[in-house]
Amino acid sequence: MTRVITIDGPSGSGKGTIAAGLAERLGWRCLDSGALYRLSGLAAARAGIGLEQPTELAQIAGNMQVEFRDGRVFLDGEDVSLDIRSETAGNAASRVAAVPEVRAALLEWQRAFARAPGLVADGRDMGSVVFPDAGVKIFLTASPEERAQRRYNQLKEKGLDANLACLVEKIRERDERDSNRSVAPLKAPEGALKVESTELSIDEVLEQVLKKVRDAYPDLFR
């Protein structure tokens, strides 16, 4: 069985950075499941399909031609790496992610990312729904203000437009929607190590996570 480590948490909690760092350290694959929801939101908007058409939304999500190559993301052959990182794309993702048919359409696709020697998967329901048997589960949080500040810095670095007060509000809105939806809501899976990262650096979070991974898979560190 392929080993899986899940890292779940709210928007901007740093799970993407930690997941990528961990995957690199272990030489494992990495699944950014949020990207699949962002791509679904973008593909649906481009096709003019709205939330009131769940069957069509699921068809679009399940049939997108997606390629992850050299750190970039391609949708139907077009490089959409920047487009899917905007706040608008994040909010569109959060909306389509609340549609049960869309989640079902992406489920097996996400599971197929698990291949030897192992997978680090980040998202909202990686440990609870997609990989319930994962050997290590992490739940990463940080205050909404800190997460908004991190997102602000990220967007600025990418040369995208950002407003801090607006980001705090959007983050609270997205938390609310992601935590209260009926299917696979954001919550710490049973047995997860909870890491509150507001006051921690990336290296400090990674250290706590690695300790947990070392306990679960000592052979990886011999």
Q: With binding defined as CB under 6 A, does residue 34 bind ligand DC?
A: yes
Bridge partners, 119 (sequence order)? 4, 29
Q: Is 185 exposed, middle or buried (0-12, 13-18, 19+ CB in 10 A)?
A: middle
> 21, 123, 127, 189: which one contacts ligand DC (CB under 6 A)?
123
Least distance in Å: CB of 47 to ligand DC? Answer: 18
125 makes contact with ligand DC (CB under 6 A): yes
| Residues in 180-219 at the binding interface with ligand DC, rule: CB under 6 A | none
| Contacts to ligand DC from residues 127-186, by CB under 6 A | 174, 178
Taking the C-alpha atoms of residue 120 and residue 21, their distance in angstroms, rounded to an integer, is 10
Q: Which is nearer to ligand DC, 29 or 38 (CB)?
A: 38
Closest approach of Cβ 162 to ligand DC, in Å?
15
The yes or no reply on residue 80 touching ligand DC (CB under 6 A) is no
CA–CA distance from 115 to each of 1, 28, 95, 110, 118 (Å)?
Answer: 9, 9, 30, 11, 6
For 55-68, the DSSP string reads: HHHHHHHHH--EEE
- Angle at which helix 100-111 crosses helix 54-63, to 10 degrees, equals 20
Q: Contacts with ligand DC: how many residues (CB under 6 A)?
A: 15
Contact region with ligand DC (CB under 6 A), list: 31-39, 68-76, 141-149, 160-168 = 31-39
Q: Output the smallest distance, CB 6 to ligand DC, in A.
A: 10
Query: What is the rounded radius of gyration, in angstroms, for the C-alpha atoms of the chain?
Result: 17
| Candidate segments 22-30, 32-40, 56-64, 199-207, binder of ligand DC by CB under 6 A | 32-40
Alpha helix ranges (H) inside 120-195: 144-157, 164-180
Q: Which positions lie near ligand DC, rule CB under 6 A?
A: 11, 33-34, 37-38, 90, 93-94, 97, 123-126, 174, 178
